[in-house]
Amino acid sequence: MRLRRKVCLLGAPGVGKTSLARRLAEDVFEEGYESKLSMAIFKGVLELGDVSLEIMLWDPGGVEAWGQYNRSFISGACGLAFVVDSTSPRTLDHLLEAQAKGRGFIGSRPSLLIVNKIDLTRDFALTKPQLDAAGKLDWYTAQTSAKSGYNVNEAFERLAKMMLEVRKVSA
């Protein structure tokens, strides 16, 4: 069976949303890549048993995190991937603040918190209180590196499985 699902990438500029999307869709990483588009859509395909799932990753480019919380961007999304930079604590703070303000638009969609740039372990700067606050949300958390490819497919496979579970429950 072949299915297609929209997934919105949310997070501050520079956290690696485009790099994660390109890693999943094209298996590439480009050092210093800067998105020139205000919106890009990448297609990644995940094989989950008898289901071939096309994930359409909507990447808002350089739009600030709180600017991504609007009905037109999130409309029709089956899943959300919130992305933060492991070396920049403010990216998690901004995301948690924006998420709290935008919750009405988000609803109960399957959500994933991606802590990206985990390859920069010596620069890891997120604090325990921040991670505890994120842990109180109903999000699966994954640590990834778009640069090395570490855990990128696995993170999106987890989100894909959550989206398929929702489909089964609502069917």
The predicted-structure confidence for 118-140, as pLDDT tens digits, reads as follows 999 889 898 888 888 887 777 88
Please, which residues have CB within 8 angstroms of residue 121's CB and are 6 or more apart in sequence? none
Is residue 159 very low, low, confident or very high in pLDDT (cuts 50, 70, 90)? very high
| Phi and psi, residue 91, nearest 5° | -70, -35
Look at residue 3 and tell me whether its pLDDT is greater than 90: yes
Give me the numbers of helices (H) and strands (E) for the chain, helices first please.
5, 6
Q: State residue 57's pLDDT score.
A: 96
15-31 residue pLDDT tens: 999 999 999 999 999 88
Q: State residue 97's pLDDT score.
A: 80
| Phi and psi, residue 136, nearest 5° | -75, -15
Q: How far is CA 152 from CA 44, 72, 106, 123, 146, in A?
A: 11, 27, 23, 20, 7
Task: Give me the residue spans of the domains in the chain.
Answer: 2-170
Are the beta carbons of 57 and 10 closer than 8 angstroms? Answer: no
Q: State residue 128's pLDDT score.
A: 84
Q: Top-level CATH class of 2-170?
A: alpha beta
pTM for the predicted model, two decimal places: 0.88
Query: Mean of the per-residue pLDDT values for the chain?
Result: 86
